[in-house]
């Protein structure tokens, strides 16, 4: 048992089982041992690799997407560009470089990066030192149009799980087993089924319903801001649309492989599939329009990634060699092309954003 597991076990002994959301919050954000408080998880030497780290084309196309949305809404000035969970700052650097095609956009925006990880914040400061940027550790609604990017951010937000047991829907908790080790357990008392959406009725015995109150609340805030002041948000992540099943999607990843969820909290990344349908509902409930989710492969293809790849390959302008293999990784269905999805939130009055059928 590592130090954080021991601390969590002590807390459970004193106060009773934790929800999965509470466990995730401690494992990811404990100031001393939390996964996202202590390290740069990205890249070949880290635990996982993300689309902007695979290819500059990803950030470039997202940068052009957001500048186009700004243009389509009458080029509001001032406006704010926000990125949630910017990692190493790679996506933002590529997006801003591509957006130089629309210099009035760069002149109109201030930039805020929402980042809780001090190690990554330092990397972002270095990567983006040529740009005037502010940082925050949480999202705040701006007083102006909001243009927002988030790649692989929502999957890190804490989820709760409810399991269809014989006695009813019971929350899946983290308790201690007979030896004092961390173990999954169901809450003894079922919750009222009315707290779950009607689709719960299709669940088989043992089926799991997942919900992320943090993700829903954040989508609501973003949608309210965009409905009120204008703007556009693009959320890219791995997850499901209308086809949400009743599976357990909580996963631990370390060193590019799946790990046990409870063995070493703080040393491995924890994430779960993003429920895009829930985010879209949160957006429309708050007066905004939602688009997608579209499969990442289709979305990037509609934005012209194939043409961009050809140009980079011809001019050898790429940051890395192997443009063709980067393209395949981002777009092909058996790579990131269908598991990852893109969804957008815009004002109801705005024109349809690029990339969505």
Residues that bind ligand SAH (CB under 6 A): 36, 42, 50, 52-53, 85-87, 91, 114-117, 120, 137, 151-153, 156
Contact 155, 272 (CB under 8 A): yes
Could you tell me the smallest distance in angstroms from the CB atom of residue 181 to ligand SAH?
A: 26
Residue 115's Cα: distance from chain center in Å?
12
Residue with Cβ nearer ligand SAH (9 or 91): 91
Contact 138, 84 (CB under 8 A): no
In sequence order, the 6+-apart residues with CB closer than 8 A to the CB of 281 are 290
Contact 105, 77 (CB under 8 A): no
Could you tell me the smallest distance in angstroms from the CB atom of residue 39 to ligand SAH?
A: 9
Contact 239, 341 (CB under 8 A): yes
Could you tell me the smallest distance in angstroms from the CB atom of residue 249 to ligand SAH?
A: 17
C-alpha dist (Å) from residue 228 to 140, 160, 181, 213, 224:
14, 30, 49, 22, 6
Give which of 148, 156, 152 is closest to 50, Cα–Cα: 152
Contact 88, 187 (CB under 8 A): no
Residue with Cβ nearer ligand SAH (28 or 182): 28
Could you tell me the smallest distance in angstroms from the CB atom of residue 194 to ligand SAH?
A: 29
Please state, in angstroms and rounded to a whole number, the distance separating the CA atoms of residues 175 and 8. Answer: 9
Residue with Cβ nearer ligand SAH (86 or 266): 86
Could you tell me the smallest distance in angstroms from the CB atom of residue 137 to ligand SAH?
A: 6
- Which residues partner with 344 through β-bridges? 234, 291
Contact 236, 196 (CB under 8 A): no
Nearest 5°: CA angle at 343, between 339 and 344?
165
Could you tell me the smallest distance in angstroms from the CB atom of residue 168 to ligand SAH?
A: 31
Residue with Cβ nearer ligand SAH (42 or 346): 42
Could you tell me the smallest distance in angstroms from the CB atom of residue 244 to ligand SAH?
A: 22
Q: How many CB atoms lie within 10 A of CB 241?
A: 16
Could you tell me the smallest distance in angstroms from the CB atom of residue 91 to ligand SAH?
A: 6
H or E, element range at 184 = strand 182-186
- Of all residues in the shown chain, the one whose CB is closest to ligand SAH is 85
- With DSSP H G I counted as helix, E B as strand and the rest as coil, what are the percentages for the chain, rounded to 5? 40, 25, 35
Residue with Cβ nearer ligand SAH (85 or 353): 85
3-class DSSP assignment, residue 209 = strand
Residue with Cβ nearer ligand SAH (153 or 169): 153
Could you tell me the smallest distance in angstroms from the CB atom of residue 85 to ligand SAH?
A: 2
Residue with Cβ nearer ligand SAH (53 or 298): 53
Residue with Cβ nearer ligand SAH (270 or 280): 270
Residue with Cβ nearer ligand SAH (114 or 289): 114
3-class DSSP assignment, residue 284 = helix
């Amino acid at each position: 048992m590592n130090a954080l597991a021991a601390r969590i076990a002590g807390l459970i002994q004193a106060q009773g089982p934790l929800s999965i959301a509470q466990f995730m919050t401690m494992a990811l954000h404990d100031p001393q041992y939390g996964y996202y408080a202590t390290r740069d998880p990205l890249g070949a030497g880290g635990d996982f690799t993300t689309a902007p780290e695979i290819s500059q084309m990803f950030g470039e196309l997202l940068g052009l997407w957001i500048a186009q949305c700004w243009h389509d809404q009458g080029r509001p000035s001032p406006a704010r560009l926000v990125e949630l969970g910017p990692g190493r700052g790679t996506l933002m650097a590529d997006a801003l470089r591509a957006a130089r095609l629309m210099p009035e956009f760069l002149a109109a925006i201030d930039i805020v990066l929402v980042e809780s990880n001090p190690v990554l914040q330092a990397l972002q400061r270095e990567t983006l030192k040529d740009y005037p940027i502010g940082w925050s550790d949480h999202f705040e609604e701006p007083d102006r149009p909001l243009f927002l990017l988030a790649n692989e951010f929502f999957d890190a937000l804490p989820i709760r799980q409810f399991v269809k047991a014989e006695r009813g829907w019971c929350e899946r908790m983290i308790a201690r087993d007979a030896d004092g080790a961390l173990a999954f357990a169901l809450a003894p008392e079922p919750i009222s089924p009315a707290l779950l959406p009607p689709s719960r009725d299709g669940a088989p015995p043992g089926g799991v319903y997942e919900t992320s109150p943090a993700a829903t609340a954040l989508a609501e805030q973003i949608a309210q801001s965009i409905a009120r002041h204008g703007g556009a948000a693009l959320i890219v992540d791995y997850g499901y649309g209308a086809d949400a099943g009743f599976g357990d999607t909580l996963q631990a990843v370390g060193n590019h492989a799946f790990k046990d969820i409870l063995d070493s909290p703080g040393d491995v990344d924890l994430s779960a599939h993003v429920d895009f349908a829930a985010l879209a509902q949160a957006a429309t409930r708050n007066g905004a329009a939602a688009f997608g989710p579209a499969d990442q492969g289709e979305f990037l293809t509609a934005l012209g990634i194939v043409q961009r790849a050809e140009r980079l390959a011809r001019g050898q302008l790429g940051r890395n060699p192997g443009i063709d293999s980067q393209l395949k990784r981002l777009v092909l269905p058996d790579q990131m092309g269908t598991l990852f999805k893109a969804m957008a939130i815009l004002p109801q009055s705005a024109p349809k954003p690029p990339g969505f059928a």
